[in-house]
Chains A and B, each alone.
Chain A
Amino acid sequence: GAVVSQHPSRVICKSGTSVKIECRSLDFQATTMFWYRQFPKQSLMLMATSNEGSKATYEQGVEKDKFLINHASLTLSTLTVTSAHPEDSSFYICSASGLAGPDTQYFGPGTRLTVL
């Protein structure tokens, strides 16, 4: 149980383009999904929290118009990085909770984004 998938695993794009990342909970319904960004040799930084059918809650300093989050169902959330720039290059990881209580988060495998 508690399998979270993410797609794609790697993406390389040109500056100015948009990239969509999908996060799915495969064997449970996720009441909440979280999106994190992790730079090399650093910790995970929460970007936003999303609940199915509601608008995402963004952390301070995260531009909601640049990082669009959609939580269309209890098993799918998407993160779209709009007008990507090289400084957006990072490891983006989602997590989902709802299987073992609202506080236990299970992580996806991450998406390595490289913006040229």
Chain B
Amino acid sequence: GENVEQHPSTLSVQEGDSAVIKCTYSDSASNYFPWYKQELGKRPQLIIDIRSNVGEKKDQRIAVTLNKTAKHFSLHITETQPEDSAVYFCAASSPGGGNKLTFGTGTQLKVEL
């Protein structure tokens, strides 16, 4: 089955700096890679996703890049703000796997003033 690894587990940045979270996956058939933001005690919220036919996708301060050959994808947050502080999860799925999401272990992002 799919295995998703995520790094770092914790990330502390100064407000206004950029943050990068990286994930690798094992199943070459995976074709959908969403990123979720989860605040303490709340639901995971989809913030951006990318499919395997695209190498990069951007939405305002958030971007995701995908390298299919190396089987890794990254989340980039620019101009970080205190409200970006949360746990971020990457995930991967494939149609052959019933579109089940396999999640990474999460990254606790802290944006300091």
A: residues with CB less than 8 A from B are: 4, 32, 34, 42-46, 49, 57, 91, 93, 95, 97, 102-110, 112
Identify the closest chain B residue to A102 (Cβ). Answer: B99
Decide: A104 and B49 in contact? CB cutoff 8 A. yes
With known contacts A34-B100, A46-B100, A103–B43 Cβ distance under 8 A: no
A-contact 0/1 string along B7-33, CB 8 Å cutoff:
000000000000000000000000110
| A102, B97: Cα distance in complex, Å | 12
> Do residues B104 and A43 form an inter-chain contact, with CB atoms below 8 A?
yes
Contact residues in B for A95 (Cβ distance below 8 Å): 101
Contacts of A91 in B (CB 8 A): 41
19 additional A-B pairs beyond A49-B98, A103-B95, beta carbons within 8 Å, are A32-B98, A34-B100, A43-B89, A43-B104, A44-B44, A44-B101, A44-B103, A45-B103, A49-B100, A93-B44, A97-B99, A103-B99, A104-B34, A104-B46, A105-B34, A106-B46, A107-B46, A109-B42, A110-B42
Q: For B95, list chain A residues within 8 Å (CB).
A: 102-103
**In the complex, residue of chain B having the shortest beta-carbon distance to the beta carbon of A9:** B41
Question: A residues within 8 A CB of B49?
Answer: 104
Of all A-B residue pairs in the complex, the 5 with the closest CB atoms, nearest first, are: A103-B32, A107-B43, A103-B99, A43-B103, A109-B43
Within 8 A of A (CB), among B40-63: 41-46, 49
List 6 contacting pairs A-B, 8 Å CB cutoff, sorted by A.
A34-B100, A43-B89, A44-B101, A57-B98, A107-B36, A109-B42
**Which chain B residues (58-113) contact chain A, with CB distance < 8 Å?**
89, 93, 95, 98-106
